[in-house]
Amino acid sequence: MNALTLWFHKTGSPPTAYRLAGRLMPWCYGVGFVLGLVALYGGLVLAPRDYQQGDAYRIIFVHVPCAWMSLFAYLFMAANAFIALVWRIKLSEVLAMAAAPIGAAFTFVTLVTGSIWGKPMWGTWWTWDARLTSELVLLFLYFGVIGLHAAIEDRRQAARAAGFLALIGIVNLPIVHFSVNWWNTLHQGETVRLLGPSKIDASMIWPLLTMALATHLWFFGSVLARTRIGLLELDGGKDWVREIALATDGAGERA
């Protein structure tokens, strides 16, 4: 076995992953929280008013990063589900299932903030616009994955079945992403672009991108936290879990 595969297997083993996640998690949460505060200050206080939408546009600083995250979380989940199905890596199963509820939460926040924004701007809470509908479908896909995972008794089989569903559901991802280009409906088109100039002013884009970074970090923080618990559950009764349990018990008694 060469060094890379060795490292890969070592990091992928539950005890090492548990420790690594424990070390990374506070950093993700901490930096994500600080960046989030900075972005909120930049977006709510520093950025200028929009000439057309006034102050109401400021919900963009929550809505858009959450929408990006809802797609990113699904991609993360599906990629891990794929790895779990093909190479049967335990850690990937746990990672994929850890990402599902968080992605669902981001999707839910996107839908809620979107409808709050839609009420004053479009005059309606909800329309069956292409992007709105596909985002709702995404939410139900998350629910399906969570439900399927919860419904099967055997944890590993549950993760595989739910992961498979996640892989089927990935057809929806390009639909969400390109819906504003394919159908000319109410939702506005792409404003921020990775390639080429964005159609948004620099004073508004930096809080947006900072917020996107913050939500990514927060996402990884929560994924790691959930993964730690998932690993403990999956490996309950094994030696390394018993050691941790005994250690925390001892600490509790001493305190």
Residues that bind other proteins (CB under 8 A): 133-134, 136-138, 140-141, 143-144, 147-148, 151-152, 157, 160-161, 164-165, 168-169, 172, 175
By beta-carbon proximity to other proteins, the closer residue of 29 and 183 is 183
- The distance of closest approach from Cβ of residue 91 to other proteins in the complex, given in angstroms and rounded to an integer, is 19
By beta-carbon proximity to other proteins, the closer residue of 135 and 225 is 135
By beta-carbon proximity to other proteins, the closer residue of 53 and 172 is 172
Dihedral (Cα; 187, 191, 192, 195), 10-degree rounding: 120
- The distance of closest approach from Cβ of residue 122 to other proteins in the complex, given in angstroms and rounded to an integer, is 20
Residue 63, token pair as written in the block: 């809505």
Q: Rounded to an integer, what distance in angstroms lies between the CA atom of residue 248 and that of residue 255?
A: 10
- The distance of closest approach from Cβ of residue 160 to other proteins in the complex, given in angstroms and rounded to an integer, is 5
- The distance of closest approach from Cβ of residue 102 to other proteins in the complex, given in angstroms and rounded to an integer, is 18
The β-bridge partners of 50 are 54
Q: Rounded to an integer, what distance in angstroms lies between the CA atom of residue 16 and that of residue 240?
A: 10
By beta-carbon proximity to other proteins, the closer residue of 63 and 149 is 149
Q: Rounded to an integer, what distance in angstroms lies between the CA atom of residue 143 and that of residue 198?
A: 34
The SS3 call for residue 54 is strand
CB atoms within 10 A of CB 55: 9
By beta-carbon proximity to other proteins, the closer residue of 141 and 211 is 141
DSSP 192: -
- The distance of closest approach from Cβ of residue 161 to other proteins in the complex, given in angstroms and rounded to an integer, is 5
